[in-house]
């Protein structure tokens, strides 16, 4: 898997995350600027938090305007075609899951590159993948979705463990990446299909 | 416009932002410490987020205690005179708008100085100007005001574009600054007077 | 007071803060991953914000996994014994107050070490001690507890002033630390016993 393919999927993941932000913000009747802000926060919030905690500054999306153009494209397309976009639920779900997996792996790799331990790296991967959505929900004054009901953050954690195990087994990085993303897609699809949920504390 | 005048207006802007925080917090019946925290977050939250994302640390207000004294002065005065302060609505509105414009320009300049592109710089200017208010609303558990109804963030974006165009035309920096702030004041006054609003996504 | 005792109390403080996060999250019926995220944010959120604002990166807890294990232990024990843990209210209260005092002092010291002024250092100490709780409440979509009713942030501020005065009087650092933490415990106990509260702004 050449590095460019990772980049392409990262951009697609950014697009899908931005659409999810637009969709939340539109349902709260925010105006176009409010919608754009939520789209940005959803798409780049997780990576921003990760970079700031690790100490990678300026934060990475600030150095590559393609992320910005992608988010504006998502907002622009949504302005005209949001109902149609939302009908592509199955497609969006797959790209959202690919985004989730890729963001988790990229975050994990960045943390390892900064000399952090595997445990912290898995946490940073999970932060990258899920905190955009958390910030989206906080800004919309809702309880973050990831706190209940669906498996989401836990899938990133399991995906991160699988990724590190495969790397440890000296399987080449791109094979590992593809395998992990597939694993995450399957795990998430199963979790949605069979309505898996996690126990609560009483 | 000598640099000192910019500084004076920045301090006044800080004061007015702090009063806006006090006013929100008092309406939620927070105690004096809660009110002070909200006043701080409103006044320095946007600049803090900007500095952290760019990588300017310690964050700038931590190196100049005049900001801190200004915010404490705003809280102290509000403790005795909040109803009177709030009656000065028109004056506060003008200083709030000057603050908005100046914070946007200062943020934009800081981002350019860090080598970031004009597009990112306009975003950083807008973040500086509006995110203090966003954090104020989140901490008070309200939906951020900027997401609907009034033009606010969009005015910072337009102001940033005007500023960069004037700089590009090689107009001296202080003239550009004054012109942009005046432009922002006029634009915002018109937007309030004629109740301009932005479209929503359906 | 040898440095190791400070570390031991820091770990205990982290545990107690994590339990407070678990308890809030469990009352909102979050699943085990949601509970873990809230536990983390409560325990390390204040220190993370402080480090990021000062520019200490990677953030300190990322370099010492004992904090992470402590939080997981708190979540794990809570999963089986939360009702019993919550019955130890008086013990938890004391450790929470020790944690509060220690986090405030450690934050203050870090800020001084970074060359910041005493006023800013007291603010950073307070941020370290209380912002984990603020973030816990925001993520649970509640109005932060510190904004009303109870003395909490103000105790950190007063504790910070006492600490700096004792240091100024050239009392040895560990004596100062013990004295300040005792002072904070007594002040907080009195404030709870006599239901002290702060005035509001009208």
Going from the C-alpha of C83 to that of each of A111, B94, B114, C19, C88, the distances in angstroms are 37, 55, 52, 11, 9
For residue B67, is it within any domain?
yes
For chain C, the average pLDDT equals 90
B4 close contact with A: CB closer than 8 A: no
For residue B200, is it within any domain?
no
The residue segments making up the domain with residue B45 are 3-193
Going from the C-alpha of A43 to that of each of A99, B132, B135, C126, C134, the distances in angstroms are 10, 21, 19, 32, 24
Based on the structure, what is the number of domains in chain B? 1
**What is the pLDDT at residue A92?**
80
Mutate to test the interface with B, among A37, A51, A55, A59 (most CBs of B within 10 A): A37
| Neighbors of chain B by Cβ distance (3+ pairs < 8 Å) | A, C
For residue B75, is it within any domain?
yes
**What is the pLDDT at residue C89?**
76
Who wins on pLDDT, C167 or B95?
C167
pLDDT band at A202 (very low <50, low <70, confident <90, very high): confident
Checking if the pLDDT of A1 tops 60, the result is: no
CB contact at 8 A, B37 and C157: no
Who wins on pLDDT, C88 or B178?
B178
**What is the pLDDT at residue C3?**
60
For residue A184, is it within any domain?
yes
* d(C-alpha C111, C-alpha B132), whole Å: 23
**What is the pLDDT at residue A3?**
59
Q: Can you tell me which residue has the tokens 């570390």? A: C7
For residue B201, is it within any domain?
no
pLDDT band at A4 (very low <50, low <70, confident <90, very high): confident
pLDDT band at A2 (very low <50, low <70, confident <90, very high): low
pLDDT band at A138 (very low <50, low <70, confident <90, very high): very high
B8-41, pLDDT tens digit by residue? 888 998 999 999 899 889 888 888 888 999 999 9
B90-133, pLDDT tens digit by residue? 788 888 888 889 999 999 999 999 999 999 999 999 999 999 99
Who wins on pLDDT, C5 or B169?
B169
The sign one gets for the Cα dihedral C20, C1, C55, A125 is negative
Residues of chain C found within 8 Å of residue A143, distances taken between Cβ atoms:
28, 140-141
Q: Can you tell me which residue has the tokens 């798409």? A: A43
Distance of alpha carbon A104 from the chain centroid:
7
Tokens of B147: 């997401």
B161-199, pLDDT tens digit by residue? 999 999 999 999 889 988 998 899 899 999 988 988 888
Q: C37 and A146: CB-CB below 8 Å? A: yes
Checking if the pLDDT of A105 tops 70, the result is: yes
C12-47, pLDDT tens digit by residue? 989 999 998 998 898 888 888 889 999 999 999 999
For residue B7, is it within any domain?
yes
pTM over 0.90: yes
Closest to C14 measured CA to CA, from C117, C122, C100: C100
Helices of type H across B88-172:
89-113, 118-139, 153-168
For residue C90, is it within any domain?
yes
Chain B nearest-CA residue for C157: B33
């Amino acid at each position: 898997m050449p590095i460019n393919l990772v980049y392409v999927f990262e951009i697609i993941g950014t697009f899908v995350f931005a659409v999810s932000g637009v969709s939340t913000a539109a349902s709260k009747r925010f105006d176009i600027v409010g919608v754009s802000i939520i789209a940005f926060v959803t798409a780049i919030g997780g990576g921003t938090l990760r970079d700031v905690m690790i100490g990678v500054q300026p934060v990475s999306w600030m150095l590559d305007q393609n992320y910005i153009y992608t988010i504006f494209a998502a907002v622009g397309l949504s302005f005209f075609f949001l109902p149609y976009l939302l009908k592509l639920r199955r497609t969006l779900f797959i790209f959202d899951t690919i985004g989730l997996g890729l963001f988790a792996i990229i975050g994990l790799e960045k943390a390892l590159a900064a000399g952090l331990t595997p445990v912290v790296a898995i946490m940073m991967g999970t932060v990258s993948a899920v905190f955009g959505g958390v910030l989206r929900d906080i800004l919309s004054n809702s309880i973050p979705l990831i706190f209940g009901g669906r498996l989401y953050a836990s899938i990133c954690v399991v995906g991160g463990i699988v990724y590190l195990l495969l790397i440890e087994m000296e399987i080449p990085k791109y094979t590992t990446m593809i395998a992990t993303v597939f694993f995450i897609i399957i795990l998430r699809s199963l979790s949605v299909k069979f309505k898996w949920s996690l126990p609560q504390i009483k």
